[in-house]
Structure formats: structure tokens, C-alpha cells
Amino acid sequence: MDNFEEDNIRNPDEAVNDQLLEDTRSDFEKQIDEAIYISTQEIKQNQILNTQYEEQLLKDYSEETNRRKDFFKDFLFNINKIGKFDKEVREIYDIIDPIIESYCNQSIKSCELDETTYNKIFNTLKKTRNNPLTLETLKTIILSE
């Protein structure tokens, strides 16, 4: 049995000595290659930083949009519900809904309306039961000329 195992063992390969090719580039060519390598590394690093920055911006935008929508969700729901029975409230809802939607999507920061429309909106909204903080916030978004 020992004889069988010894016959199946392969002899080791001979050692091979490889010699690297000699670098025949000039110092100027070596410096150019080094500069190119450094530049590509800097570009890759900048791309990574830009990607992280863009991801953070999108995350912040999304969080702010969701926060604003949540803030006005109940308010708009209540106004819409009342507007089904009250024509004047429905008119107000039709005016402020696109303004609030644009604000929530961060398309606008504020909107200026004529004084008559502004007064009609807030006089009507004062008669409805809503969060006073929401009305105050709405006054910072909808402005009078």
C-alpha cells in the first residue's frame, strides 16, 4: 500500500526565475504617468464626494417634502370635507390647494395674492375649525400684495 502512494506522488516543478523588464522610460515619462495616476485618483474621489452630496440633497429634499405634506394633510382634508357642503369654502380650497401643493413640493416659498382674495381666504378659514399654527404658517406662504 505504501508503494502505491509513493508512485502517485508527482515530483515538484522546477523553480522558475522571472526577470522583470527593465524600465526604459525617461524621468519625464515616469512623472507624467505618476501625474496621470494621481489625477485619476482625485477624479474618482471627487466623483464619490459628488455622489454622496447629491444623495444627501435628495434625501433632505424628500424629508422636507414629506414633512410639509404631513403638516398640511389634515388641514387640507378638513377644508375639502367642509367644501363639499359650503360653496365659499370650496372656492377657497380650489385657490389654496395648488399653492400648498407647490409649497410642499418646494416649487415656491410664497405666493402673493391681491388683497381682496387674501382677505377672503383668511376670513373664511377663521370660521372653520383648524389648527391655529397651520393658519399662521399659511399666512407666511400666502402673502398680500
In a domain, 82, yes or no: yes
Whether 6 shows a pLDDT value over 80: the answer reads no
Which span out of 1-5, 21-25, 46-50 was modeled with the highest average pLDDT? 46-50
Question: What is the rounded CA–CA span in Å between residue 70 and residue 90?
Answer: 21
> Structurally, how many domains does the chain consist of?
1
Interval 101-126: pLDDT, tens: 999 999 999 999 999 999 999 999 88
Residue 62 lies in a domain: yes
| Residue 107 resides in a domain | yes
Instruction: Specify if 11 maps to a domain.
Output: no
What mean pLDDT is predicted for residues 38-64?
96
Task: Specify the pLDDT at position 131.
Answer: 84
Contacts of residue 113, Cβ cutoff 8 Å, sequence gap at least 6: 95, 121, 142, 143, 144, 145
Q: Is 22 inside a domain boundary?
A: no
Q: What is the pLDDT of residues 63-96, one digit of tens each?
A: 999 999 999 999 999 999 998 998 999 999 999 9
Residue 65 resides in a domain = yes
User: For residue 2, is pLDDT > 60?
Assistant: no
Query: Whose grid coordinates read 360653496?
Result: 87
Residue range(s) defining the domain that contains residue 104: 31-144
Pick 7 or 67 by higher pLDDT. Answer: 67
The pLDDT of residue 9 is: 74
Q: Which three cell numbers stand for residue 11?
A: 515530483
- pLDDT at position 145 is 80
Q: What mean pLDDT, rounded, does the chain reach?
A: 89
Asked whether residue 91 is assigned to any structural domain, the reply reads: yes
Q: Is residue 9 part of a domain?
A: no
